[in-house]
Amino acid sequence: MVREKSTTIRKPRARNRLGGELFFVGLILGLLLVAGLIPSLLAPQDPWRTGGPALAAPGGEYLLGTDQLGRDVWSRLIHGARTSLLVGGLATLIALVLGGLVGLISGTVGGWIDELLMRLAELVDTVPGLLLALLVITLIGAGIWQVALVIGLTGWTGLARVLRSRLVSIREEEFVLGARALGMSEARVALRHMLPLAWPALLALLPFRLEGAIMLEASLSFLGLGDVSRPSWGGMLQDAQPYLRQAWWLVAAPGAALALTLFALSLLSDHLQRLSNPKLRLGRSD
Amino acid sequence: MEGQDTGCLAKVSGPELASLHPLHHQARLRLTRMLTYATRRILLVIPLLLGIAALNFLLVSLAPGDPVIYLLADSSDPGLVQTLRERYGLDQPLWERFGAYISSLLQGNLGQSIAQGRPVLDAILERIPASAILAGAALWIAAGLGIPLGLWLAKLSLSHPRLERSAFLGILLGTGLPPFLLGQLLILLFALYLGLLPTNGMFSVRGTPEGFPRLLDLLAHLILPALTLGLQPLAAIARITRAQALEVMGQDFVTTARAKGLNERMVHTKHVLRNALPAPITLLALSSGHWVGGAVITETVFAWPGLGRLAVESTLARDYPLVIGVILVGAIGVILANLIADIAVAGLDPRVRYG
């Protein structure tokens, strides 16, 4: 890519800094992925085993100390990563499928269907996501699938809008007109000629969506409305509340894990936004 | 920008122009345009509210399980179930229930709380002041600190780009810090280790004083929750103000302003700030849904007696009429925020109200 080359020549320092930041992102997300996929590799103990001394300080046998029931905080942290990743990933997938479908239909079909779908997106955006999640949990209870579903159902609107706006601008391009003139069906034009140009914009939004989903999952768990049968960072933070004074590590461990994960994801999404939007990359602005 | 306003004179017909004093004319025309814009914007709210009511109603009706069963956790006497179903109108067909629901909503009746046994509206109204105080304080913190911080970052990025990047990373970290985590950290630091501030409730439990001391008591209780709720939007506002200000600073009219001899302060307040302001205002409105979520968490962490805590309490009690009531109020809050922001942006940016 010519543009990237010119950036390298103009700002070698910026390039190095970028590398450092992306290395950090890769490190955190890599750790998260390993913890989520094979928790037994990193966690020395069963996250539910209550054998240890209660509220033992970090260090020694228990790397990050133990909680009020004598469970190993480090092991719970690793297994909690799995919950975050599972719920966050599932919710993002649901949002991607829903948002992709709605955006594709809205952006290619147009007309009253487009109008209707966009009004629907507006409606979903008006209802605060956490409150809608509370209602659904009131009605169908809290399990890992329900929580993922709820988060996915509230998170598709931004994705749909971005895909739609990309498609609407592509729709006016000459090659689309050309493809139609060759007698291709509308569906083929949309899927083979328009979508490949539009979906990178969607992809750039995914870390941002994942960040929101992980945050919402942690919020629900913190409120005691997540899946209580799995260790989760939000749940650990809730459990820690009565012991704030005696055991700082009960807040520090899940808090740091959550903050680092969210930070890495927002850094990644910041870089992706820059890459996918040349106006931001070349200008002096954000 | 005053210069952009003069464009509207061309659109006015002769007689209308003659009937007015030239100086009053422009202000009056501006007001009329604003009012037209505001009215159109307000009328659009009605279908949205109906849609939200329909969404809530559908979710409740389509969910598996009978709410009456939850209510009668222990006894499942069929007679009692029947009586309760009739009492709450659950034996009617779906569309009749929807019609009844909408018509009672229009009369200001939000239904009966199952767990509290009293009108939903009463339970909600008594919580609104606490939520309004908390949200207002957080808004002041977020906007009052976020906008100057963003402007400062924009200036810094032109003079010290490397330093500015570190500050930007700090902002990014702030945006990602969830309120329940931040709240606990603040409690740990200010309340438990330093022993400076109270950690829960709105007033001291023992011997609440009257008058001015009562206000001080409220303020002491307000500081930590307001910081907790306000920090995330503060970071987001600083971020977008910075980006917007950087874009504005590169525009020709800023160069012109400098060239005509304005000092830096005037350039920044009259030209850069005014043109950068619509972005954070719009952001505030668009993220107002997140604010409601943040308030739910913050009120839970600090035991603040507002609507957010009511939502959690009623969810735990499976009191769905009350949950729906809070959602409706939350959605109205979001709609109002968007309305106010749109009108404010239209007031700041003539291109919006004529476009």
* Whether residue A3 has pLDDT greater than 70: no
* Whether residue A101 has pLDDT greater than 90: yes
Instruction: Quickly name the fold that domain A2-45+53-285 has.
Output: MetI-like fold (1.10.3720)
The sign one gets for the Cα dihedral A96, A97, A100, A106 is negative
What is the phi-psi region of residue B342: left when phi exceeds 0, alpha when psi lies from -120 to 50, beta otherwise? alpha
Out of B64, B176, B330, the one facing A128 most closely (by C-beta) is B330
Sequence-distant (≥ 6) Cβ neighbours of residue A235 within 8 angstroms:
A80, A221, A222, A224, A226, A228
User: For A128, phi and psi rounded to 5 degrees?
Assistant: -55, 130
| CB atoms A285 and B247 under 8 Å | yes
pTM more than 0.90: no
Residues of chain B positioned with their CB less than 8 A from the CB of A237: 180-181, 184
Which residue has better confidence, B78 or A162? A162
User: In DSSP terms, which residues pair with B119 in a beta bridge?
Assistant: B112
Task: For residues B34 and B5, give the distance between their C-alpha atoms in angstroms, rounded to a whole number.
Answer: 13
**Across B202-212, average pLDDT:** 70
How many residues comprise chain B? 355
**Across A150-159, average pLDDT:** 89
**What's the pLDDT at B66?**
64
Residues of chain B positioned with their CB less than 8 A from the CB of A136: 59, 63
* Whether residue B10 has pLDDT greater than 50: no
Out of B55, B181, B323, the one facing A259 most closely (by C-beta) is B181
**Across B228-243, average pLDDT:** 88
Task: For residues A263 and B176, give the distance between their C-alpha atoms in angstroms, rounded to a whole number.
Answer: 6
Residues B54, B55, B60, CA angle at the centre, nearest 5°?
Answer: 100
Percent of chain B with pLDDT strictly greater than 70: 86
Out of A134, A245, A255, the one facing B311 most closely (by C-beta) is A134
Encode pLDDT of A43-79 as tens digits. 777 777 777 677 777 776 777 777 777 788 888 888 8
Out of A137, A219, A263, the one facing B315 most closely (by C-beta) is A137
**Across A84-105, average pLDDT:** 93
Angle between helices B320-348 and B45-62 (to 10 degrees): 160
Domain boundaries, chain A: 2-45+53-285
Task: For residues B340 and B332, give the distance between their C-alpha atoms in angstroms, rounded to a whole number.
Answer: 12
The sign one gets for the Cα dihedral B207, B213, B218, B221 is negative
Burial (CB count <10 Å: 0-12, 13-18, 19+), residue B52? buried
Comparing alpha-carbon positions, the chain A residue that sits nearest to B60 is A139
Which pairs count as long-range contacts for A111-116, CB under 8 Å and 24+ apart, including other chains?
A: A114/A164
**What's the pLDDT at A2?**
43
Q: Work out the minimum CA distance from A253 to partner chain B, whole angstroms.
A: 11
User: For A190, phi and psi rounded to 5 degrees?
Assistant: -65, -45
Task: For residues A5 and A16, give the distance between their C-alpha atoms in angstroms, rounded to a whole number.
Answer: 14
Which residue has better confidence, A17 or B311? B311
- As given in the structure block, the two tokens for residue A23 are 């290395």
Encode pLDDT of A26-50 as tens digits. 998 998 888 888 877 777 777 777 7
Suggest the residue from A130, A147, A153, A237 to mutate for an interface test with chain B (most B CBs closer than 10 A).
A130
Suggest the residue from B315, B320, B329 to mutate for an interface test with chain A (most A CBs closer than 10 A).
B315
DSSP 8-state code for residue A246: T
Which residue has 């409730």 as its token pair?
A: B201
| DSSP-assigned letters across all residues of B120-131 | HHHHHHTTHHHH
Rounded to the nearest angstrom, the gap between the alpha carbon of residue A162 and the centroid of all alpha carbons in its chain is 16
Distances (CA, A) of A11 to A4, A103, A268, B217: 11, 37, 20, 54
Suggest the residue from A138, A273, A279 to mutate for an interface test with chain B (most B CBs closer than 10 A).
A138
Which residue has 């003539």 as its token pair?
A: B350
* Whether residue B228 has pLDDT greater than 60: yes
For chain A, the average pLDDT equals 82
Residues of chain B positioned with their CB less than 8 A from the CB of A132: 327
Q: Work out the minimum CA distance from A21 to partner chain B, whole angstroms.
A: 10
| CB atoms A219 and B169 under 8 Å | no
| DSSP-assigned letters across all residues of B168-210 | HHHHHHHHH--HHHHHHHHIIIIIIIS--S--SSSS-SS----
**What's the pLDDT at B97?**
81
Return the amino acid letter for B97: R
Which residue has better confidence, B344 or A117? A117
Sequence-distant (≥ 6) Cβ neighbours of residue A13 within 8 angstroms:
none
Q: Work out the minimum CA distance from B178 to partner chain A, whole angstroms.
A: 7
